[in-house]
Amino acid sequence: MIHISIEKAAEILKRNGIVAIPTETVYGLAGNALNETAVAKIFAAKERPFFDPLIVHIAEFGELENLAAEIPQNAKLLAEKFWPGPLTLVLPKKERVPDLTTGGLSTVAVRMPKKQITRDLIKLAGFPLAAPSANMFQHLSPTNAEHVAEQLSGRIDGIVDGGVCEIGIESTVVGFENALPVIYRPGAVTYEMIAEISQLDKSVGNASPGMLEKHYSPNTSLCLELPGEVPPNSGLLAFGELPANANGFAKIFNLSQNANPTEAAANLYGMLHKLDSCGLDKIFATLLPETGLGNAINDRLLKARGIA
Ligand code: TXA
Ligand code: MG
């Protein structure tokens, strides 16, 4: 895989190429959000279906006006509080945003990432960057440059190595129903944090297109209940204190020995990647308490398992 500087990446992007870029959440596969040729290459490289819309990344709040036809007051408040950061806002789109970018929807998802080199790259390119997570469709999201290379080598024009993603799970996706925020995908900007700013519409969880039931998947089968008797060649993805039968597992990774959800989020995909490459027959994991980041981690674990 070719590692490139942000200057080189900007050059490639200007020629409608596609490059993997670091962000504080997960690595993204970026192309010019306003150019259909570039966006089509993103879908092709990931083998992603066209109905699954992309997130458009900007470097400054002012760029939002070029993309969104309307910015509700609550969207402004959330952006003020959480941008730059792991929050994506879904807003009515302007005509200049290609239908291909938004999966044919009349809305566009926009995020201002926190990571400085990501915003530096957007500025160098001179246009907003469409960037889904830099993995093959329905596979594990990448949290370092090696993860990207494993899945996308030979399919993309280069990768900007920005080290390990600090947050480790994808941004919170928020839309607006009757002017109230609705969480389409939980993330590091939690329900509780949003509730401090505005009342939420709770009715429409997971209504986002692309929120397919199976997603973020390891190849090894994943079970979210711990076994009484541990089957041979099983792995454990633990959280906090180990279970009494921990000795029976062939491999154990602990998301956070101190049961800290922030640390667990940062470790989630990396540890799933590692467990997945151990040749195990089954991976066992436990769900976290359903508050704050625990919600977002459980959402990814359920999708990794596939909701039966
Ligand atoms: O943290 C992140 O959000 C990462 C980094 C790279 O920024 N990106 C990411 O993109 O996770 P992706 O493509 O894996 O997930 C984007 C999801 C879509 O699957 C869809 O559910 C939602 O965002 N989305 C995008 N546009 C939308 C729209 N117009 N309406 C509703 N949901 C939308
Ligand atoms: Mg993704």
Confidence (pLDDT) at 138: 87
Distance 175 CA to ligand 1 centre (A): 11
**CA-closest candidate to residue 57, choices 17, 84, 95:** 84
The structural domains of the chain, ordered by start, are 6-195 (3.90.870.10), 221-305 (3.40.50.11030)
**CA-closest candidate to residue 79, choices 117, 111, 57:** 111
Question: How many Å apart are CA 194 and CA 177, to the nearest integer?
Answer: 15
Confidence (pLDDT) at 202: 72
223 pLDDT band, cuts 50/70/90, is very high
Distance 252 CA to ligand 2 centre (A): 26
Does 214 have pLDDT greater than 60? Answer: no
Q: Is 168 in the pocket of ligand 1 (CB under 6 A)?
A: no
Task: Tell me the angle at which helices 116-125 and 6-14 cross, rounded to the nearest 10 degrees.
Answer: 40
Confidence (pLDDT) at 179: 87
Determine if the pTM surpasses 0.75: yes
pLDDT above 70 covers a percentage of the chain that reads 94
Distance 81 CA to ligand 1 centre (A): 20
* Six-digit token string for 55: 């997130």
Q: What is the mean pLDDT of residues 284-302?
A: 94
206 pLDDT band, cuts 50/70/90, is very low
Task: Tell me the angle at which helices 261-276 and 145-152 cross, rounded to the nearest 10 degrees.
Answer: 40
- Which of the pair, 179 or 21, is modelled with greater confidence? 21
